[in-house]
Amino acid sequence: MFRTAYSLLPRGHQLAPRRDDGSCDGGFDFGCGYGCGCGGGQDDLQLLGCHVGLSRRSRLRRRDSTHRDSNEMENESSCAGRYWALPACSPRNGARSWAGDEGHTDGRRRRVWIGQVAEPEIVMVPASMEPTARWLAANRVWTVPLLAGLASGVTVAGLFNPWDRALYLSVKDRTPFIHRGNWLQPFQGFTSAVVQRTLSGSSWFILNDWILAQLVARRLELDLATQSREVRRTVTSQAMPLEIFAAANLAGAGNGAILNSISVVKYHNWGKENPDNFFRTARAMVRARGGSLRPLFRGLGTTVLRDIMFGGIFASLRLVLSAPVDDLLRPLGAGSATSFVSSMVAAATATLASAPLNFVRNMKYAARFDRRSPTIAAVLTSLAREMAASPTPLRFMLDRFRVGWGTARVAIGMAVGWELYELAKASLDCVLDAAEDSDCGDV
């Protein structure tokens, strides 16, 4: 004998009832337990998802004694926890995709029993999160960049931490990038690195998007808080080149100011034979200067200048390169790679332009913390003397700036981060559209 509860299966499978012994007949455990007799005490659920060929979004809510239709199912009296689906739109062919005769039609919405849905393809989230989802959607100008940046940042941090550490040690110890000693402990200092890289990805992207949206809104005399979600979501697409440049510069300044102290601790930890955790390392650095916080702000001005230069060049050049790169790749059948290639070339160029400031920053970080850090002029003067004494000055300079491996790291990392960020933004926009009862479209 079966209870009138159902496990939720992907599209292409029939709904499977749950047996009295708690097993799901023909199904799997994802969603088994939500329905009559299977999930007492469970929170209400909201099911959101984008479907291809079906109704593109549905909601599933628990049925209780305060929501009863005149047309009731046979065993409903024994099951006050039944769920029903509320399709919010019709499929493209105009026919209803949710089968069943029970329930009633009210405008475009039709209540049907979950037991009659033949092919659900849905994502489950607690209905108690609906207010949060709606709040995120209403503030999508900054919430979407923030969440997308976090997702992109943590991914890039994990992928490139060994590369970042090897680069730093090669500059500090003047060893080849591929020297074995630079790769012995590839994830040393990863705890502080992942925090810094995650914040780096999220802070630059959110600042850039938010500042750009404000600049465009100011020019168009828009109050984003009162605009439709479509306007809020696409406002940055109307940006002028000068606005893109200004937003990227300002975002770079903010990014450098926010993250410099984390970078100082991370780099100091990388150079220790017995690395400590982030907070103990920070305390030791402060104590080395008699309780002064100055070590945590070492290299701040240099970092801000570097990030301003990098951000402005990257964003502007990426915009300029999009059309010619697309013209070059499309005949080769690689038009989809336009964004990635444009980002990579723009990041490589910005890295070369900001390389002197990046070198100075590394030297400031590498200096002993019980002494004053060298000035920008002192570092560059010392570098110039070493170049003059070298038989191959240009090669010496390129090696010290780590042009090559360092440039490739930034170029690839920035391109990967940008693509992940844009993908996360598109996915979040779709989910938040669903929360606001709009159409996700095809994803």
pLDDT band at 189 (very low <50, low <70, confident <90, very high): low
Q: Which of 109, 138, 167 lies at the terminal end of a domain, its last residue?
A: 138
Domain assignment of residue 441, yes or no: no
Same domain for 118 and 226: no
Q: Does 381 lie in the same domain as 349? A: yes
Does one domain contain both 244 and 310? Answer: yes
How much is the pLDDT for 249?
Answer: 96
Looking at per-residue confidence, does 416 or 292 come out higher?
416
What CATH number is attached to the domain comprising 222? 1.50.40.10
345 and 217 belong to one structural domain: yes
Report whether pLDDT(119) > 70. no
Residues 222 and 100 in one domain: no
Same domain for 91 and 159, yes or no, is no
- Does residue 205 sit in the same domain as residue 114? no
- C-alpha 326/C-alpha 241 separation (Å) is 19
Q: What is the pLDDT of residues 255-290, one digit of tens each?
A: 999 889 888 887 777 666 666 777 888 888 888 777
pTM of the model as a whole: 0.65
Average pLDDT (184-199) is 73
pLDDT bin (cut points 50, 70, 90) of residue 211 is very high
Res. 158: pLDDT tops 50: yes
Q: Is residue 442 part of a domain?
A: no
Q: Is the dihedral of CA 105, 110, 115, 117 positive or negative?
A: positive
Rounded CA-CA distance 326/331 in Å is 9
- Residue 349: inside a domain: yes
Quick one: 11 exposed, middle or buried, by C-beta within 10 A (0-12, 13-18, 19+)?
A: middle
Domain span including residue 243: 139-435
66, pLDDT greater than 80: no
Last residue of a domain, one of 72, 107, 138: 138
pLDDT at 172 > cutoff 60:
yes
Is the pLDDT score of 130 beyond 90? no
Query: Does 54 map to a domain?
Result: yes
| pLDDT tops 50 at residue 152 | yes
Mean pLDDT score, 336-355: 92
Residue linked to tokens 């995120």: 136
Q: What is the mean pLDDT of the chain?
A: 69
Within 10 Å of residue 405's Cβ, how many Cβ atoms?
14
Q: Residue 21: which pLDDT band, with cuts at 50, 70 and 90?
A: low
For residues 159 and 69, membership in a common domain is answered with no
For position 243, what pLDDT does the model report? 94
Query: pLDDT tens, 305-316?
Result: 999 999 999 999
Residues 11/95, Cβ–Cβ less than 8 Å: no
300 and 164 in a common domain: yes
pLDDT of residue 102: 34
Classify residue 319: in a domain, yes or no: yes
Cα angle 134, 45, 68 (rounded to 5 degrees) comes to 105
Residues 46 and 171 in one domain: no
Give the closest residue to 18 by CA, choosing from 34, 2, 1: 2
- pLDDT band at 78; cut points 50, 70, 90: very low
The pLDDT value recorded for residue 273 is 64
For residue 402, being part of any structural domain is answered with: yes
Q: Examine the fold and report which residue of 81, 113, 138 is the final residue of a domain before the chain moves on.
A: 138
pLDDT score at 187:
80
> What is the predicted pLDDT for the residue at 14?
34
Tokens standing for residue 419: 């693509």
Q: 273: which residues sit within 8 A by CB, 6+ positions away?
A: none
* Residue 129 included in any domain: yes
Q: In total, how many domains does the chain have?
A: 2
**Domain-located, residue 440:** no
Judge if 127 and 201 occupy the same domain. Answer: no
pLDDT in tens, 33-51: 233 222 222 333 333 222 2
Q: Is it the case that residue 131 has pLDDT exceeding 90?
A: no
Say if residue 342 is in the same domain as residue 414.
yes
Residue 339 has pLDDT above 80, yes or no: yes
Q: Dump pLDDT digits (tens) for 133-142.
A: 777 777 777 7
